[in-house]
Structure 1
Amino acid sequence: MPDSLSHKLMAAHLVNGKMTPGSEIALKMDQALLQDVLGTLVMLELDAMGIERVHTSPSVQYIDHTLIQQDNFNADAHLFLKSACERLGIWYSGPGNGISHPVHMERFGKPGDSLVGCDSHTTSAGALGMLAIGAGGIEVAMAMAGEPLFLAMPSIIGVRLTGELPDWVSAKDAVLELLRRHGVSGAKNCILEYYGPGLAALDAMDRHVLANMGTEMGATTSVFPSDDATLEFMRARGRESEWRPLAADPGCLYDQDEHIDLSKLEPLIALPSSPDKVVLVSDVAGEPIYQAYIGSSGNPGYSDFAVVADIVRGRAISPHVSLDINPSTRQVLTALIDEGHMATLIKAGARLHQPGCNGCIGMGQAPAKGRNSLRTVPRNFPGRSGTLEDTVFLCSPETAAASALYGVITDPRTLERAHHRPKEPKNMKPDEHMFFPPLALEKARRIRLLATDNTPPLAVLKPLPDSICAPVLLKVGDNISTDDIMPAGARVLPIWSNIEASTKHTFETVDPSYATRARTQGEAGHIIVAGDNYGQGSSRENAALVPRALGLQVVIAKSIARIHWQNLPCFGVLPLTLDNPEDLDQLQQDDVIRIDRLRDQLAAGTCITATINEHQTITLTHELSARQQAVFSSGGVINWLSRRTGS
């Protein structure tokens, strides 16, 4: 029977389970990707597990988020991470090399391999025909320790591409079109698999844009075939020997079918403050802007910057606009300099920043309060830019550049010049000496972890009691993101690895009183109630761990985003959904929820009976596998693993 590429990749890595949608499967992970702010917790978790050397190869730690050195915190964290890499057998990519996702594709991406990363945009590597999945750091640590990655078997959405992109339309517009159709949760527990004749005109970095932002639809990952475009990308980096062709079987069937005629697309833009609020650029043309931001893992390719240089060549940007250039990798920056594009950008009035995530995660380039910022980043959740009262639009580099010239949102098709999207140079080989390989085992054993004030050992989490009786401390609406739960930015992000220090910032943009009220409640614990798609966005596990440290016991929601749903039981928090979504109206802040014989109810089936204020009965649903129930009942993954191994 003809098979999809996604099924082929999963079958090649299947350790346990049946590949029927919704069933729990276990996949062997070949490679692991860590970024700095979440990788720090992974290192602490590996240390708590007593791991001597990681099993995934390569495992790579990237420094791409914590680049602002306004104090010693980030610099200290870099030293800790480098020592952990040396101790545990992990590659280290230091500050200056660039964003983990494009750098990993350049240096380590390999068609057919599986990759797990503690960043939701790990899916970007699907552009090279990899099975690349983002997960919470604790699950990444488990995979690095030699355990498989567990997840619900996804459905496969086949996305057939036909036609070619018109002038002034790019891959960013194609993925925004998908977001317009499917919203921020429409691909939950699905894989987006791209195929069709339209692929021929999309290079590897165009595909990266689509694979990267599939995450914004809730997708488990995105998969592209490994073809001539993949070979061209790897040849430019001197790695053609690692290429192999991969594709779906002709005539294979998908669980769902989608079609995009690229030739029919127009420039699109996502309005503040959600990636799925997509409209035509022409619909909002003329709105004044303060900032145009080029870069991030959402548009990291050489062409994404070079096309901006072509647009502004010989001209000056509006004096009221900050055109921020954030190179994605050292190789991209070097190529832009060598080809003269960087000089063009600087002469036009652009501002240059170091290669890294930077403003995408609120680490610099924060816009002025209440002023419009056009960004090529993948997310525009409220406050993510580093400015609490921001108005961030998501768009293509072409739209951002055209708007920077005129100072207002501008449809790039109105520019009075021919469209040209430069191709990357033939030689984009990474600078090998900037990567530090794993040490030999005997030498690694002599390395001491350079702990800092912000890397205290992880506290041992106690299992929840079998009878829970706790108040609803917080009720929130739909699409609460992990940015809402645990903010990023230069103020908070450097202390993410310090759970105690992070607690005071939990939900601070939603309800600043939450942390104080949670501390008052103490060990008695509390419950959070939410609407649809709770915990969307970043894979950051501290959005589960820090509330757990504050006494969170149960999350009750209409629905919970995939990665956050997996993170919660990993730290001993029970994720439940409403059997009847209309019951959300019955639950109010300060209501007391009681669940008796919890473990018996979990084992008996998917329904959980609870009472509200000792008189009203409500039915809740869980989707935990027997393994996840054991993890939850142990108080989290680390306790579960310790009991299983006797360590």
Structure 2
Amino acid sequence: MSIKLTQSGVYYKNGAFVPEQDGPAAGLPAPQAAKSGTMAYGILKAHNTYDNMADLKIKFDAMASHDITYVGIIQTARASGLTEFPLPYVLTNCHNSLCAVGGTINEDDHVFGLSAAKKYGGEFVPAHQAVIHSYMRERYAAPGRMVLGSDSHTRYGAYGCMAIGEGGPELARQLLSKTYDIAYPRVIAIHLTGAPRPGVGPQDVALALIGATFQIGAVKNSVMEFFGPGVESLSMDYRSGIDVMTTETACLSSIWSTDGIVKEHLDVLGRGDQFRAQAPADGAYYDGLIEVDLSAVEPMIALPFHPSNAFTIRDFKANMADMLRQVEEDAVRQLELKNGAPSLTGKIVNGQFHTDQGVIAGCSGGTYQNLVRAAEILKGQPIGSDAFWLSCYPGSMPINLELTKNGYIASLMAAGASIRSCFCGPCFGAGDVPANGAFSIRHSTRNFPNREGSKPSDGQVSYVALMDARSIAATALNGGVLTAATELPDVPVDAAREPYHYDDSAYRARVYFGVGKPRPDAELVFGPNIADWPEQVALPENLLLTACAAIYDAVTTTDELIPSGETSSYRSNPLRLSEFALSRKDPQYVPRAKAVLALERKRRENPADPEVQEALLGHDGASTGLGSFIMALKPGDGSAREQAASCQRVLGGCANLAAEYATKRYRSNVVNWGMLPFIAEDVAAWNIQSGDRLWIPGVRKALDSMSEIVEAVLIQDGQARPVKLRLPSMTREERDIVLAGCLINYYAK
């Protein structure tokens, strides 16, 4: 077994682990004192502006956003008084790089971003230069630092840098010199031993970790702290490939010990002076332990529709018919297909599974070492002229330059692979979308439903599985027949010290380096699609809410709340984007929410309007607001983008009701956009359906008084019954934000 979990506290002492209950006998201090020995504690303490480590108020060293988030962030901060960027802020253009949908609006966003970098003093990376996380690793990640990004895969732990992905409002707070407020997180030790076998890559290790942790919430909202003798066997690319995928465990962040390999890599990047050694102290206390034997990890595949749906390729091949039928059933259920799912079992021919497409891309796949291994496996041999095709996306121009200079790009091209620009598209459905019924294997970060371009409502469904670049190349070598790299007779080895030369001439030629040099007289350039956030009203005394969607899936991703892909082109226009909310999950959500919003607007103008009075069910129209809510058992897994919440708010949403929230970042987005993050652990038994009502008298008073329990009445089929809604761990500031109506209103006050 490659992974062993201990879900109780442990001490790290003399290179071994001591159970918490045995600590006193070993002469170890209480956990509260010993937790200061973790790497995470030291970094968090150095960035905490508050004198209490239980409740952190963090200021970051740098921030990063890409082109489907930075417009909204800057607009939010601008509406709240932004005059200049108070910390280094990098604006990359790696998502809507193709400018392929919506006329001029994508490039209009890029022009706005450059004008904002000039006006406020930022760093602007033009399209096709770098994937956001590749750029930040190369230019900003260093031991002891903290970076905040408006992308969920903001992870630079392999560099000893604690990075966190959050929704846009949290970045706006930093731009306004506010703090990132969070209770001190759990810290989980990830102890690595052994060394990977040839043919086993970082994605294999990552998928094994995700499969072992996500479903049981083993590291949810925690910091994963990597160390142990196995670290020294891994190159920087290999470490980063594991690290970036920690997002899919639902953890808060990650951090790794640092060593000579990190120092040498920073030297290559021209930043060797930023190195510092980093390791846990002897006797450090952890809230849990995950032991990973790297030598026992096998090539993995994460089947649709989540990275945690992970199996060894060996097990998949032994049971592929049953597993593929399960994927078809999952597709019918999750995508609500009325005519069944396209067949996958039909791709089994003579006992072999035939895939249709391979992609090696992005912050996880497009590293130098991954693409070198792929080129070495293919050796220029043709991938064939049948249905299977392969595309490769280097993560940055320096990576692309080095691959080109060393002949690896030519080798991949000679094999028939398509070489693409430095672009995140395949990861979120805006590049290399498979055909209907096709099965794509990808070294990228996610394989959520809809994310690869499916439009179930239009009869379009494709499947994405996650694999490592090495096994994707092995599959390509066999014309698309699924093959683990370890099945090949001669597999190249991943050296811990992969030779690499860093040439940043492309950046020096094209990047706008304006950090610390604001130009207040510079004008922002607004394209016709860039719109201000619509005004939101403060929380009324009472609320009467209508359920406009009820989702009973075990987990609801942000991609289901607001689809990715071509909809990303409209992310600078809140009203237009809101038209896509839940469009591939519940197409009637938007018209239902709009109908409630129309009544609320009528109520504000004339509470005595007969139609309003009927909707109010006899309650006072002067003090009772009408709004909508979404019920989902566990919403918010996946992307950090704020639009998953802001679209609900723009459509009149006042609350979410859940059994739990999948991630801290989604709950933060809900709060920052002025919505109540209600919890009811038994909500599944309430059987809420669209059209049900929630009457919440005195909601403003309850919120203001710091109450965690809010009394309400659930109205279903004409019958009313009392229910209890919970607001656990909601801080004073979070309550004030919701009371004000949203973060912008809160700062305006």
Instruction: Return the TM-score normalized by structure 1.
Output: 0.95
User: Is 1:612 the equivalent of 2:708?
Assistant: no
1:466 is displaced (CA, Å) by 2.2
Pick closer, same or farther for the CA change 1:105–1:294 going to 2, 3 Å.
same
Paired position in structure 2 for 1:637:
743
Please say if 1:7 is aligned against 2:30: no
- Whether contact under 8 Å (1:238, 1:429) holds in the other structure is no
CA shift, 1:87, in A, is 0.7
Of the structure 1 ranges 201-210 and 74-83, higher mean CA displacement relative to structure 2 is found in 201-210
Within the candidate set 458, 465, 471, 2:540 is matched to 465
Amino acid at match of 2:98: I
The alignment-based identity, stated in percent, is 26
For 2:160, give the aligned amino acid: G
Structure 2: which amino acid aligns with 1:323? L
SS at match of 1:576: strand
1:503 corresponds to which of 578, 581, 591: 578
Residue 135 (structure 1) aligned with residue 170 (structure 2): no
- C-alpha change, 1:567 and 1:101, in structure 2 (3 Å) is same
Instruction: Identify the match of residue 303 of structure 1 among 369, 375, 392.
Output: 369
Deviations 1:193-252 (A, max 9, x none): 001000001122222122211111111101112321211221111111222222221231
User: For residues 247-262 of structure 1, what are the structure 2 equivalents within 5 Å?
Assistant: 247-262=279-294
Output the CA distance in 2 between the equivalents of 1:164 and 1:237: 26
Superposed counterparts of 1:162-561, under 5 Å? 162-183=193-214, 185-285=217-317, 286-319=352-385, 320-388=387-455, 389-406=461-478, 407-421=480-494, 424-431=498-505, 432-438=508-514, 444-477=519-552, 478-489=554-565, 491-522=566-597, 523=600, 524-532=626-634, 534-560=635-661, 561=663
SS of match in other structure, 1:344: helix
> Which residue in 2 is equivalent to 1:161?
192
Cα separation, 1, equivalents of 2:488 and 2:282:
42
Q: CA deviation at 1:186?
A: 3.7
Counterpart amino acid of residue 60 in structure 1? V
Question: In the comparison of the two structures, how many residue pairs are matched?
Answer: 634
Residue 93 of structure 2 is aligned with which of 63, 68, 73? 63
**Residues 434-489 of structure 1, C-alpha deviation per residue, up to 9 Å, x if partnerless?**
32111775x71111000011211222211221211111111012211111111111
Between the aligned partners of 1:109 and 1:322, the Cα distance in structure 2 is 34
1:421 is displaced (CA, Å) by 3.3
Q: Aligned equivalents of 1:18 and 1:440: distance in 2?
A: 31
The question of whether the paired residues in 2 share the 8 Å contact of 1:335 and 1:425 is answered with: no
Aligned twin of 2:701: 600
Letter in 1 for 2:182: L
Superposition deviation, residue 171 in structure 1? 1.7
Gaps of at least 5 residues in structure 1 are: none
Q: How far does residue 25 in structure 1 lie from its aligned partner after superposition? A: 2.2
C-alpha displacement at 1:126, in angstroms? 1.6
Q: Which segments of 5 or more consecutive residues in structure 2 lack a partner in the other structure?
A: 1-33, 318-351, 456-460, 601-625
Within 2, Cα distance between the matches of 1:302 and 1:228?
19
How well do the aligned residues superpose, as a CA RMSD in angstroms?
1.6
Aligned partner of residue 286 in structure 2, secondary structure: coil
Q: For the Cα contact (< 8 Å) 1:152–1:189, is it kept in 2? A: no
SS of 1:173 mapped into structure 2: helix
Deviation for aligned residue 1:399: 1.2
Deviation at 1:181, TM superposition (A): 0.9
Query: Distance between the aligned counterparts of 2:293 and 2:178, measured in 1?
Result: 41
Q: 1:601, CA displacement in angstroms?
A: 2.3
Shift of 1:589: 2.3
C-alpha spacing 1:245/1:76, structure 2 compared with 1 (3 Å): same
Q: Secondary structure at the match of 2:637?
A: coil
Q: Distance in 2 between matches of 1:161 and 1:251?
A: 18
Rounded to whole Å, the distance in 2 between the matches of 1:244 and 1:144 is 28
- Counterpart of 2:575 in structure 1: which amino acid? E
Q: Aligned letter for 1:64?
A: C
The residue identity in structure 2 corresponding to 1:639 is N
One-letter amino acid matched to 1:632: V
CA distance in 2, matches of 1:590, 1:387: 28
Conserved in 2, the CA contact under 8 Å of 1:127 and 1:211?
Answer: yes
TM-superposed CA distance for 1:63, in Å, is 0.9
SS in 2 for 1:615: strand
The amino acid of 1:132's aligned partner reads A
CA distance in 2, matches of 1:172, 1:595: 47
**In the alignment, residue 559 of structure 1 is paired with which amino acid?**
E
SS at match of 2:353: coil
1-side partners of 2:474 and 2:179: how far apart? 47
Show the 5 A alignment for 1:554-573.
Answer: 554-560=655-661, 561-573=663-675
TM-score (norm. length: structure 2): 0.82
The answer (yes or no) to whether the contact 1:84–1:449 under 8 Å persists in 2 is: yes
Output one character per residue of 1:112-168: Cα deviation in whole Å (capped at 9) or x when no partner: 11111111111x212211121111111101112211111232100101001111121
How far the C-alpha of 1:419 sits from its partner, in A, is 2.7
Asked if the contact 1:92/1:435 (under 8 Å) is kept, the reply is: yes
Q: Secondary structure of 1:298's partner?
A: helix
**1:84-99 mapped onto 2 (5 Å cutoff):** 84-99=116-131
Deviations 1:266-315 (CA, angstroms, capped at 9, x unpaired):
11110001110001112234321110100111223200101000011041
Per the alignment, residue 65 of structure 2 pairs with 34
* Residue 19 of structure 1, CA deviation: 3.3
- Secondary structure of the residue aligned to 1:475 is strand
Q: Is the 8 A contact 1:55 1:146 kept in 2?
A: yes
SS of the equivalent of 1:76 reads helix
The one-letter code matched in structure 1 to 2:668 is: Q
Which residue is 2:50 aligned to? 16
Separation in 2, partners of 1:583, 1:333: 50
Q: Any idea what SS the aligned residue of 1:250 has?
A: coil
Structure 1 distance, partners of 2:524, 2:410, is 42
Kept in 2: contact 1:496–1:502 (CA 8 A): yes
AA in 1 matched with 2:356: Y
Q: Is the 8 A contact 2:377 2:473 kept in 1?
A: yes
Q: How many angstroms apart in 2 are the aligned matches of 1:230 and 1:300?
A: 19
In 1: Cα distance, 2:53 partner to 2:375 partner = 47
Change (3 A) 1:289 1:439: closer
User: Cα offset for 1:517?
Assistant: 1.5
Contact kept? 2:540, 2:700, Cα under 8 Å? no
The one-letter code sitting in structure 1 at the alignment partner of 2:463 is T
Task: Give distance in 2, aligned partners of 1:502 and 1:314.
Answer: 44
Q: 1:521 to 1:218 in 2, by over 3 A?
A: same
For 1:598 and 1:582, locate their aligned partners in 2 and report how far apart those are by CA, in whole Å: 19
Please say which structure displays the higher CA radius of gyration: 2
Q: Secondary structure at the match of 1:444?
A: coil
| Separation in structure 2 between the aligned mates of residue 604 and residue 42 of structure 1, nearest angstrom | 29
1:638: how far off?
Answer: 1.3
| 1:484 counterpart letter in structure 2 | E
Tell me, yes or no, if the aligned pair for 2:355 and 2:438 is still in contact at 8 Å.
yes
Q: Sort the Cα spacing of 1:28 and 1:604 in 2 relative to 1 into closer, same or farther, 3 A.
A: closer
Work out the CA distance in 1 between the residues paired with 2:692 and 2:294. 51
